[in-house]
């Protein structure tokens, strides 16, 4: 199905998932304004959110099934397999977060149906980021997502730690957005366009980029570096992840990171594919992020802070895929982001069931003897930890293996070696969690009596565990989707790099 961006009907079809989710967001706003006082109202808002996410997933599937693609003319919206796969990751992460949130919000007495409205708007921003073929669309999606997540991080207004997390995230997030917007301004000044395809075409004609353009690219990377929590732009992540409600932390660690990486991929490979300078930046950024994230995590006893620093390390692994580039790197990124979403949401879901008041005080020793009292929870958390480690038979192993292939085939053997070595280091903080659950007695009698998953959280964790193990032993379908998606965004970048006959390069000097 070919879509002409100049035709109003085709443009609406290209934006169908976003329009569907926007409609449900408006319905949720009306419902929350009407019903917002009881636990029943909170539950109904959650079910409406799930219905909206399901409708959006159907719209994404319909466009993917009909092979929707933008043809003819310069578009601000992309329609390719890369977008559809990324959209499914965002919607899946949001749906799992909703299932985990039902019992959590009631237990913590957070009777705020607005929580689900913010979750929907955050997901809508992610969809726009993956769909953006123009820097302004990407920036609008980024801000929509960020503002919603700022509020979600501080939605528990009774806890000072939650308010601190929201304030830190807002201040540093606004600071990062300033870098990003300034970078967009410089790129526009150097090329006369914010459209990724036109920028790529003009750069390919001009050849040597101007200093203004290089500075703009550097500022864009700094802005995205904050959003993906790459070292040294990661300083906000531990405190924000620690202070936010645990389901929100899981959503931030997966959906927000995936959306930022998806936008980064599209920007670099469709607009700046002919500029080698950013490869060196990402190369060293990946190295320091992998090393820093893993060694910072080694010193943590709080499970939540350990997972926060762990997410920094995994950002380094994903940066290896970005640095590898090409169809192989893009495919590896998609495989790993699916794996990372499953295992991270599962880990935070179990942590949410174990702790109270934000779960900041749950240490590794507090999990001692959990397997005796709660064998299913222990098994689920152990599978998530092993997958995060990259243990064979799990999707985490498949994802890291795919990134290693992309890195070595691209001649980046040092990155591949550091990925393997830092994965070995990560055993120092993942395996103690499993050892505490299975090899140590309960710290006190009945320590884990209150630790339980409700039926919807149990369904979410079951889906996560099944996905981790299924894709770990049978990843063929995931590979096929990732290869098609990787080829689509790379081929678009190659096409965009060829300027049309009427395009006049205006690279600044």
Higher pLDDT, 54 or 440: 54
Q: Tokens for 279?
A: 């490869």
Question: Which H helix or E strand runs over 3?
Answer: strand 2-3
- Cβ–Cβ under 8 Å, residues 338 and 395: yes
Q: Tokens for 75?
A: 């578009």
What is the per-residue DSSP string for 482-505?
Answer: HHHHHHHHHHHHHHHTS--TT---
CA–CA separation, 293 and 400 (whole Å): 16
- Cβ–Cβ under 8 Å, residues 339 and 345: no
Q: Tokens for 204?
A: 């390919």
Q: Within 13 Å, how many C-alpha atoms sit on residue 43's CB side? A: 7
Q: Tokens for 91?
A: 């919607």
Task: From 367, 379, 373, 340, select the one nearest 458 (Cα to Cα).
Answer: 379
Q: What is the pLDDT of residue 502?
A: 37
Using DSSP's 3-state secondary structure scheme, residue 363 falls into strand
Q: Domain residues of the chain, as ranges?
A: 2-496
DSSP letter assigned to residue 69: E
Q: Where are the alpha helices (DSSP H) in 192-302?
A: 196-206, 211-228, 237-243, 246-251, 257-271, 277-298
Inform me whether the pLDDT recorded for 443 exceeds 80.
no
User: Which letter, b or e, does each residue of 395-412 get, where b requires 16 or more Cβ atoms within 10 Å of its Cβ?
Assistant: bbbbbbbbbbbbbeebeb
Over the stretch 250-299, which tens digit does the pLDDT of each residue have?
999 999 999 999 999 889 888 888 888 888 889 999 999 999 999 999 88
Q: Within 13 Å, how many C-alpha atoms sit on residue 335's CB side? A: 35
Question: What percentage of the chain reaches a pLDDT higher than 90?
Answer: 45
Over the stretch 401-412, which tens digit does the pLDDT of each residue have?
999 999 998 888
Q: Tokens for 227?
A: 């959003």
Over the stretch 145-163, which tens digit does the pLDDT of each residue have?
999 999 998 888 888 888 8
Helices 81-107 and 39-65, axial angle in degrees (round to 10): 170
Using DSSP's 3-state secondary structure scheme, residue 64 falls into helix
Over the stretch 94-147, which tens digit does the pLDDT of each residue have?
999 999 998 888 888 888 888 999 999 999 999 999 998 899 999 999 999 999
pTM of the model: 0.89
Round the average pLDDT of the chain to a whole number and report it.
86
Q: Scan for tokens 């936010």, then name that residue.
A: 244
Inform me whether the pLDDT recorded for 506 exceeds 60.
no
């Amino acid at each position: 199905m070919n879509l002409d961006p100049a035709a109003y009907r085709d443009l609406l079809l290209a934006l169908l998932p976003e329009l569907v989710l926007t409609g449900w967001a408006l319905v949720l706003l009306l419902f929350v304004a009407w019903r917002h006082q009881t636990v029943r109202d909170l539950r109904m808002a959650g079910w409406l959110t799930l219905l909206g996410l399901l409708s959006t997933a159907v719209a994404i599937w319909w466009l993917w099934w009909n092979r929707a693609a933008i043809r003819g003319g310069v578009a601000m919206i992309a329609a390719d397999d890369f977008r559809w796969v990324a959209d499914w990751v965002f919607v899946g992460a949001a749906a799992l977060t909703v299932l985990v949130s039902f019992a959590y919000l009631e237990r913590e007495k957070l009777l705020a149906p607005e929580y689900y409205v913010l979750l929907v708007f955050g997901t809508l921003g992610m969809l726009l980021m993956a769909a953006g073929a123009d820097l302004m669309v990407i920036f609008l999606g980024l801000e929509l997502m960020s503002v919603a997540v700022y509020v979600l991080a501080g939605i528990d207004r009774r806890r000072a730690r939650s308010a601190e997390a929201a304030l830190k995230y807002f201040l540093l997030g606004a600071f990062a957005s300033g870098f990003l917007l300034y970078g967009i301004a410089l790129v526009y000044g150097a090329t006369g366009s914010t459209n990724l395809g036109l920028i790529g075409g003009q750069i390919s004609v001009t050849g040597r980029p101007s200093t203004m353009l290089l500075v703009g690219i550097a500022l864009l990377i700094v802005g995205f570096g904050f959003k993906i929590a790459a070292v040294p732009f990661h300083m906000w992540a531990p405190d924000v992840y620690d202070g936010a409600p645990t389901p929100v932390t899981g959503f931030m660690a997966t959906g927000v990171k995936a959306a930022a990486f998806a936008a980064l991929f599209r920007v670099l490979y469709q607009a700046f594919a002919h500029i080698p300078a950013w490869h060196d930046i990402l190369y060293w950024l990946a190295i320091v992020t992998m090393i820093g994230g893993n060694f910072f995590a080694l010193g943590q006893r709080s499970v939540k802070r350990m997972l926060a620093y762990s997410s920094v390390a995994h950002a380094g692994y994903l940066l290896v895929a970005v640095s590898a580039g090409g169809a192989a790197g893009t495919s590896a990124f998609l495989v790993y982001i699916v794996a990372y979403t499953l295992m991270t949401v599962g880990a935070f879901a179990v942590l949410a069931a174990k702790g109270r008041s934000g779960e900041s005080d749950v240490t590794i020793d507090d999990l001692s003897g959990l397997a005796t009292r709660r064998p299913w929870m222990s098994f689920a958390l152990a599978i998530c930890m092993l997958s995060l480690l990259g243990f064979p038979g799990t999707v985490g192993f498949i994802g890291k293996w795919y990134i290693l292939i992309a890195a070595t085939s691209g001649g980046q053997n040092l990155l591949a070696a550091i990925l393997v070595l830092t994965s070995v280091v990560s055993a120092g903080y993942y395996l103690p969690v499993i050892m505490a659950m299975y090899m140590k007695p309960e710290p006190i009698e009945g320590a884990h009596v209150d630790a339980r998953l409700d039926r919807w959280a149990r369904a979410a964790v079951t889906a996560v565990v099944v996905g981790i193990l299924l894709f770990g032993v049978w990843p063929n379908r995931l590979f096929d989707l990732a290869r098609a998606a990787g080829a689509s965004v790379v081929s678009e970048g190659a096409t965009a790099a060829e300027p049309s006959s009427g395009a006049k390069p205006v690279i600044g000097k």
